[in-house]
Amino acid sequence: MPKVAVLDMAGKEVEQIDLSDAIFGIEPNAKVLHDAVVNYLANQRQGTQSALTRAEVSGGGRKPWRQKGTGHARQGYTRAPQWTHGGIAFAPKPRDYSYSLNKKVRRLAMKSALSSKVIDNEIVVLDRISLEEYKTKTVAAMLKALGAGKKALIVLPEVNEKIIASAANIPGVKTAMANTLNVYDILNADKFIVLKDAVAQIEEVYA
């Protein structure tokens, strides 16, 4: 059972807690992690790209020259893809790129991502974050004390507007709720900073 230190905002250890083996102590499955990341990125695609085919561009109503005897290659239409101002061959059209993974794969991917952060020593458990006002400087000082790199994910047990707004101005720092975590954000972060109460929520959801 993984044991990690619980730190305060100054980076000092206040206690130690045991993490669930079933969630934070499994062997990460690289194939499932890859599938989850590809699925997440595909679902983020807007799919709004659009170009005109030869049937949709204006002009080109007449044959540019007679079929034979000119020395030119035969042409019937000046809006074919090889012509300037012609249509696009196999033009992209709006489409939906999203698809879903089955529930067991999603759960295994989440457990693998969380376990990989423990294995790589990139998880930080905080006892609490106390902000009396909206203050980016306070959050930045906390991240520095915790040794967070350029990219950090702060996981909260519930919505806290002061923390979310104060962290929003710091490049590379994201906040998330324990019930809205995704594999991509976990793997993309150099430090996975999670509040002690949020750990309990994660273990309850994925137990």
Domain ranges in the chain are 3-45+99-206, 46-96
> Mean pLDDT, the chain, as a whole number?
93
Tens of pLDDT along 55-86? 999 998 899 999 999 999 999 999 999 999 99
User: How is domain 3-45+99-206 classified at the CATH fold level?
Assistant: Ribosomal Protein L4; Chain: A; (3.40.1370)
Strands 173-177 vs 152-156: parallel, antiparallel or unpaired? parallel
Alpha carbon distance 191, 120 (integer Å): 10
31: helix, coil or strand?
helix
141: helix, coil or strand?
helix
**What pLDDT sits at residue 92?**
95
Is it the case that residue 131 has pLDDT exceeding 80? yes
Of 49, 43, 46, the C-alpha closest to 93 is: 49
Tens of pLDDT along 142-193? 999 998 878 999 999 999 899 999 999 999 999 999 988 999 999 999 999 9
Of 147, 148, 146, 165, the C-alpha closest to 156 is: 165
This prediction has a pTM of: 0.82
